[in-house]
Structure 1
Amino acid sequence: MKRNAFFQLVQKKDGVYLKSYPALHGGAPLSMEDIMQYLEQKKIMDVQLGDIAAFVEDAAQQKNAEKKILSEDRLPEKEFPLITIDPKRRFAKIRLYPPSNGGMRISSEEILDRVEQMGIKSGLLPENIKLMLKGRLYCTDVLIARATPPVQGSDAVITYHFDVDKTCKPAMDESGNVDFHQLDMIEKVSEGQLLATLQPADLGTPGTDVMGGELKPIKVKQLFLKHGKNIHLSEDGCEMYSDVPGNVTLVDDTVFVADQYEVPADVGPSTGDIEYDGSVVVKGNVLTGYAIKATGDIMVNGVVEGASLTTDGKIVLKRGIQGKGEATLQAGGDVISNFIESANVTCGGKIMTEAIMHSKVTAEDDIVVKGKRGMIAGGYLKTKTKIEAKTIGSTMGTLTELQVGIDPKIVEQHRFLEKEVEQLTSEREGLMQNVLLLKKRMDTKGKLDDEKMASLKKTGKRIQEIDTRLEENAAEREVLEVELNKKDNGRIIAENIVYPGVKMTISNVSNTIKSEVQHSAFVRDGADIRIRAI
């Protein structure tokens, strides 16, 4: 049986000695820290560190060693248990030290009394105490209490029973021309159709720490079926049904079902602005100065001029937008347009078009400029993922800026959390120094006055608060670092040519093209933007 080395206080006529007993079968050797910890607990303070170090060295070289540490008489020391509790209260352990010669042994009942006095209530292992005492396992950490861990639950899950990823991707013929007449933008539903089902979250079961406190399971994601008009839920809220025939869209986790509103000609003086809770189809044009606002999708067969189109769904413009610097498009989903000129476009999905000229374009997903022209010339384009075109920039040096990569908000939040760690760590170090000073004074004088005792408790509480916040901070940084450490921080692809003067920013790295580049992809590589052939 493996046994750690241990030491014993031995009373002799001329003073107090330390005596060593060797480790057996690979047990741990004596440590100076262990001896110092015991002497501190026993208020034996006037011992030279050099004597302790020499004793430990002698013990390592021979089976038994002795070293005189005091020249005074002391009462015999009883067998002594040192009980410690993990800071997170996940376990408690005991370290037993032998009695001095003439000292008494301690009983398991006495140890259990001390355990109770320390507030240890749950997960006790009394059989370990009995085995330790029976085997005289000195200078060895023995587990005496173990927390009951929580049972982790699981996130709620929503399953949608319709196509939530309608792309409105237009067909393309062999010549590279985009056919905006063949679009699949409407997801049809019938009355009574099941739209979604919810599997509720399992919250899990709390555990108990060794002090009897609750150990909460990791929080799970709670979800609910969210919907607009023309929809109802089952009594238990776990099934969603359509009340009417129409088309269904999913916007920000909310399901909408609506009939389609159709404008037979232009949106202009004859119609006024249009606001509709559903999808809108315009057979003609949308004239300058007019607006369409919808919760479903917007499809325009003609041209959009300097108008405003706002929707929670998709926008499809079969003949494009000639915005005259006044047009604004805001879509929760994709934007599909023959071309985009002199307009401000923002969407929560991707953008697909044949040309973007002198426009400000922002998308959550890819910006794809293909078809016969496939041209980006002038303006500012921004997305987190990918910008792809045939030609970027122009021979005239038109100012063209492209930005892809990580959301700057993520970088800013990560920097804030790192600074918070530095501040909290520095504060904790200062508080720990104060705690050590107060404990040393208490060991020396036997007690503290009321003011200093209150200060010690207040400092301990603040240290616990800091430790909790540091754990939360680490978890938050871990989530952000997954995003920051992704190798694919966005890319820019030019099938044909990129002209000089085009400015590219990938994540937080920028570069301005100095000479023509052909058939290339641009990616971030550390602090540089690299060009790769395609």
Structure 2
Amino acid sequence: MATRQEEMSWWAKNSKVTIEQGGLTASLSLSEALLQEQELPALTYDCLVEHLRQNGVSYGVDMVSCQQIVMNPRGFIGGKSKVATGKEPINGENATIEILINNEHEQSPRMLEDGRVDFYNLGVVNTVTKGQILARKKPATEGIQGVGVGGAALMAKPGRDVRLPNGKNTTIAEDGFTLLAEVDGHVSYNPRESKINVFDVFEVKGDVDFAVGNIEFLGNVKINGSVLPGFKVVAAGDIEVAGFVDGAILEAGGDVLIRGGVQMRSKGLIKASGTVRSRFMQGANVEAGVDVIVRDSIMHCHISAGRHVLMEAQKSVIVGGLVRAGEEVRTRTLGSPMATPSEVEVGVHPHLRTEIQELQARLKELYLHMDKTKKALALLENMAGVGNQLPPEKEALRQNLTHTYEHYQHEEEELMYRRSEIEVILLDTRNAKVFVTEVAYAGVKLTLGQQVTYLRDPQRGPIVYGISDGEVSTSRF
């Protein structure tokens, strides 16, 4: 039997250790020259392991494979046998982005419960609110390092980072992994540019029609075409229409600008908290919190403005319908030579009259609740008797009803105070004026505050109608 030194010498002379795959595996090859030898020496596992160590293999030695080699070395001559396997590194995962908005671009009509198809509400506006989460990033991982057959660390590749799709009117939260909307608006995700944008202006390239559907938006809406009959545009901000509005509904929290004109045939509605502007209006229903400003003509419309109705063109005319304004109406011509019935009311403050009606209705409802509560309290007081003692559950009910009644009384005081404020405003008709620069025709009904007058004959301007000593007066301006 060979000594340990002789065996180690034999391994060094007749074998080759190869480290492969970047240090992850090691193989042993026995020389083909050994095939010529009649007898091979007895080999030991320990010497083979020491031989591998001397050749740089100290980790992940395959005990089974090495035992098989030393027991039957002739069977492994001329080949390559794997004798060690290291620990493979686990590369890090790339960062991923989760898009948290609905980005479906293909819109189609919805089937309603009754079987009809809704061609108007296509959902083209994808609205988000300020602070809403638009996307979230799962960060990349560093990975787990491995160990080579030589015992050295095998470095893992860290995951690749990706940036959040930070676009217009979006911001990255302090955690660095969350994308938020900076404003209310319409959100759009462009995968090609990897950007999420929030637009405070929703722009329609052409008409609002069956290809676009109804629009409801938290910001401003700009329409480069017209709004066709039956469609609805609602905006928390302003609405701008480059073309015409025909039998549609427009509601704006700000102003409405219609560069073409309005032709509604008494269908639809234009409503704005601010000012409504248009080139002309025909058969329109318009409600403006501030002013209605029209360049050419108002014909057979129902107009309501919180402050002014102003006609801008030199040949402007108001004819037919009803025009209301909180303070004044200005036009070149009022009515028509055919004595077309036309009504103008100023000093009426339409929104205040609506509010006072709502206050009256709420007060009526409040008094009913107060009466019921008062009767219930009286009943409990009678049950309490002389000692003013009630069972615990009845006493709790009495206390709740007492608090409720006090709340009703406080609300009544606030409603009454607001009603008195509005009544004072409605009685103040000093700013109630109708200015006519050329002619006011017969057939016109003028209401200034509580005073009403009918024009029986044409009156040439420039003339202003107002209130003097509680009656409708006329003067030049």
TM-score by length of 2: 0.45
TM-score by length of 1: 0.41
